[in-house]
Structure 1
Amino acid sequence: MLDFYTNPMSRGQTVRWMLEEVGADYQERLMNWGPSMKGTDYKKINPMGKVPAIVHEGRVVTECAAICAYLADAFPDAKLAPPPAARHDYYRWLFFAAGPLEQAVTAKSFGWTPTKEQSGVAGFGTYDLVVETMEGLLLSRAYVCGDAFTAADVYFGAQVLWGTRFGSLPSLHAFTDYAERLKGRPAYQKAKARDDALIAEGQAST
């Protein structure tokens, strides 16, 4: 049994996409932004009081990048993790997206641009450096690890899809072309349809 704790207007969309990619059977546990997510019961699963989270056969996993990596290993038939000896790019770009990319986009949204001195100690350096690094990667290959789609593309790709849609990343050709490849995946389409339907239901009830 796999329990999936989420809210459709959250990073839970990324994990739902990953769950569909691996073909996992899961129980959807919808959480609201108030009592259920911040309540005592859920905080036993994630003390941060945030979604998404999964509980798989009694094992709790939080943080989107960690969940994607975990699911790729837990469901090896989906072949979404490279062989262990070939995981250098897989780990590199998965955690680049979870670290420098997330930090750079958050800093920009908060209106903080590091000074030259600050950029030397900030993990992401500067927003422009992060964007240039991503563009260089996606101009050189179809997916994060080369020609094959992996779990790293779910997390890295979710950042690109979100960023180019809402303006937190520029709509460079390398980004939009990559986004279109991801949008064509049946698992992405199925997951997106479910979350869009949940969002519509929530809006209709308010």
Structure 2
Amino acid sequence: MAEDLVFYANPMSRARIARWMLEEVGAPYRTEWLTFDGTMKSSDFLAINPMGKVPTIRHGKTVVTEAAAICAYLADAFPDAGLAPPTDKRGDHYRWMFFAAGPLEMAVSIKAFSLNVPKERERSIGCGSYESVMDALSFAVTQHPYITGETFTAADVYVGAHISWGLQFGTLEARPEFQAYWDRLKERPASKRATAIDDEEMHRQLAAAKG
């Protein structure tokens, strides 16, 4: 039932990743739109996610936060969608999804904020160097058509979203293998539906802010 799966979101956030995953799953869900300095910090929402952040989903009595965790959870909760490989073949599925959630996002953030990690201290942080992360990401997207092989999975939603944003905003190197990988994903109907939903709400919020 639609009321059983609730999605807390803002269209100008990482909730766009979870929206794409929800559209791939195809199960009915209800969206609760939240504002950054308003409803996201309300006592009602903080009781659901103490971080006061989106994306967050509530599936019955189960609450899941963090975009990578939401992607992994939905793939397991709705197996008929075929978005997770068989259990004995999930190595790359988990490996690269959480690589993107950890080392990739950390390396991109460090670079975006022009933070300097001395060469001799790179082993002290989870991502190492930006260059080594880019090389690892290149490896991930060139071994197979999709992250886990010949079939699209939740890992492609998460990794693909990061690559899409990185290419759009210049936080990733414009390597041809990144563009080729994104080209394989960007025409997916679920991705287009998700983008249309979030873009419509984004324009509505921006128009409302202007008065």
Q: TM class, shorter-chain normalised?
A: over 0.9
Alignment-derived partner of residue 171 in structure 1: 174
Q: Give the AA of the match of 1:187.
A: A
- Once residues 169 and 94 of structure 2 are traced to their aligned partners in structure 1, the CA distance between those partners, rounded to angstroms, is 26
CA contact (8 A) 1:113 1:126 kept: no
Q: Could you give the per-residue CA deviations for residues 105-142 of structure 1, whole angstroms, max 9, x where no partner exists?
A: 11111111311121111110011110111112222221
Alignment-derived partner of residue 23 in structure 1: 26
- Once residues 13 and 113 of structure 1 are traced to their aligned partners in structure 2, the CA distance between those partners, rounded to angstroms, is 30
- Identity score, percent: 51
Q: Give the AA of the match of 1:42.
A: F
Which structure 1 segments of 5+ residues have no match? none
Deviation at 1:35, TM superposition (A): 2.1
What TM-score comes out, normalization by structure 2 length?
Answer: 0.95
- Once residues 55 and 122 of structure 1 are traced to their aligned partners in structure 2, the CA distance between those partners, rounded to angstroms, is 32
What TM-score comes out, normalization by structure 1 length?
Answer: 0.97
Alignment-derived partner of residue 100 in structure 1: 103
Q: Does 1:118 pair with 2:121?
A: yes
* Deviates further, 155-164 or 108-117: 108-117
- Once residues 171 and 103 of structure 1 are traced to their aligned partners in structure 2, the CA distance between those partners, rounded to angstroms, is 18
Q: Equivalent residues in 2 for 1:1-206 (5 A)?
A: 1-205=4-208, 206=210
- Once residues 198 and 99 of structure 1 are traced to their aligned partners in structure 2, the CA distance between those partners, rounded to angstroms, is 29
Deviation at 1:170, TM superposition (A): 1.5
Deviation at 1:179, TM superposition (A): 1.0
- Once residues 204 and 105 of structure 1 are traced to their aligned partners in structure 2, the CA distance between those partners, rounded to angstroms, is 31
- Once residues 39 and 182 of structure 1 are traced to their aligned partners in structure 2, the CA distance between those partners, rounded to angstroms, is 36
- Once residues 165 and 68 of structure 1 are traced to their aligned partners in structure 2, the CA distance between those partners, rounded to angstroms, is 22
- Once residues 100 and 10 of structure 1 are traced to their aligned partners in structure 2, the CA distance between those partners, rounded to angstroms, is 19
Q: Give the AA of the match of 1:199.
A: M
Q: Could you give the per-residue CA deviations for residues 35-75 of structure 1, whole angstroms, max 9, x where no partner exists?
A: 20011110011100100100001110000000000000110
Which structure 2 segments of 5+ residues have no match? none
Count of aligned pairs between the two proteins = 206
Q: Runs of 4+ in structure 1 displaced over 4 angstroms?
A: none
